[in-house]
Structure 1
Amino acid sequence: MGGIARGSKLESAKPSRHFASSKSTSKVDMRTRLYCCGLFYDSKDPYETPKKDWNFVPNTLPAIAYPDIVNYCVYSQSAYTLNDLKGYKSLEAYNQFIGGWVSDVCAREVKGHVVVTARVRHSQSISKTPLQPWIIAEKDGNILSAHGTCMAGLGEVCTHVGAVLFVVSSAIEIRSSRTVTQEKAYCLLPSGTKGINYEQLSSKYPLLLSELRDEHAFHLSKDELFHKCEQVFESICVTNDQVRLEEGKTRQQADCKEWHRFRTDRITASRMTALYGTSVEKPARGLIKAICYPDTARFRTKATQ
């Protein structure tokens, strides 16, 4: 696969500025490299792809691990020369990654493959324009090919390509270690939970008399109100289990909150004398408070508290 047939899709593909400025041998190498991966004639040259088509989300990156880097840089065969790459400068590439020489890493999915590009600064000349290597890999991390704008990058492997591979590998490792709280909407409710009618919880204790409040009874006459009270009283049902449970909760009497709560609206023996001494038409307000709101009618001072 040393040349390109005239009139083929590979020959008629639109070149980038980097491609146009490259030497003829480099042009053949880069076009053949992309053609072998099945990307060049169905998509744009990575150097000509608009910035809006690149994705800066880590989820787009291929799952490259350290064994994939070693396998590609050292043991893989060239996609078009079939010779081993034998790039043994992994330590120098790792140092460039640690030193922060790699920036603007972005990716783009093309025909089931992922193209990753980045900017890598020169290690010995910071003022020069950063290099722009790119790699082509499968989503599972298998590296197919790479290219760099330096002299060594034309041979599919260089320290700048290796530095980009280490950046991608580190990003994948960080992405895999994310917790569920770092993922957006990780624990979503299933869609089948709509329209469920939940049953109302029933209390284990007897109903409080205050819970029998009826707004419609406010306008009844005295005789009608007495008749209404008799009907409500006949409908009240307290089980033996509720009696035992309430008795066990109120053994501490005044020292127990439940004791004051269950006394609400109940006429106890201690209130009987005061009840007979008040008027039915105009009952004493303090007596009404003591019976209907026993918790608020309690005597409290700093000393008693």
Structure 2
Amino acid sequence: MEAINQLSCGWVRDVQSMTVRHSQQMNAAPLHPWVIANKDGMVEAAHCDCKAGLRETCSHVGALLFHIEAIHRLMSRRTVTQEKAYWSMPKAVDKVPYAEIRDIDFTSVSTKKRRLDSVINGEDVQQERQPLKLPYVPEPTALERWELLRDLHAANTHSSVLTVSSGFQDEFIPHILQDGNLPQPLVDLRDDRYLDMSPEALRAHCIELSRTLTVTEEQAINAERLTRYQSKCKKWFRFRLGRITASIMKSVCTTSSENPALLTVLA
């Protein structure tokens, strides 16, 4: 069950403040499930601020209930002074660090649950349990890595590793960028010498410069197609520099010609 998985892996952070980590989003703020229960354990109501919690049932509520049930069993079987492992509940996980495969604990959820039950039942509580480790695998040679990339390329898998691997990444470059048929970004025309020009001289210079700038229909189509996703595309930021866009239109129309705002473009 997903709730048991969250309990065994330390997703339950704090029962007093009732916080549980997201199942798939470690960087998101913890969720806040809560339950109302009678003294005999009967659950009267439950809720969570996750999407599934809107229906009053989700794995986060389940993880919280399992956590409370495990602590109750610990408290009913021994006192704090009887066992060093009295609070041997899974440690709360704040973040999942990046690690090599051989350093990752691949212990199954069912095994982790059996270990937790053993701790609660007083079995082998003093024994230090080591995480399951994979056997040591030597680092591949440069030839072996190249052969793997070659086989991935031959299988036509479009593997992500090929996009950042020398010798294979060129075919992932968009055709628009390969052709190079794009208009010249206005930011390339920037020159610090223009900062000392008077408004009249700068206006005359811009008029003269505009007569030399040309954009073909094909270049305009390519630029639109390349920047269609706007802020999700790096080229979008480059092509919009120096242009009068909707977000600065008001500033352009209201700025002073003698002392223009820096974010505007006067022509």
Please indicate, yes or no, whether the TM-score normalized by the shorter chain is above 0.5.
no
Taking structure 2 as the reference length, the TM-score comes to: 0.30
Taking structure 1 as the reference length, the TM-score comes to: 0.26
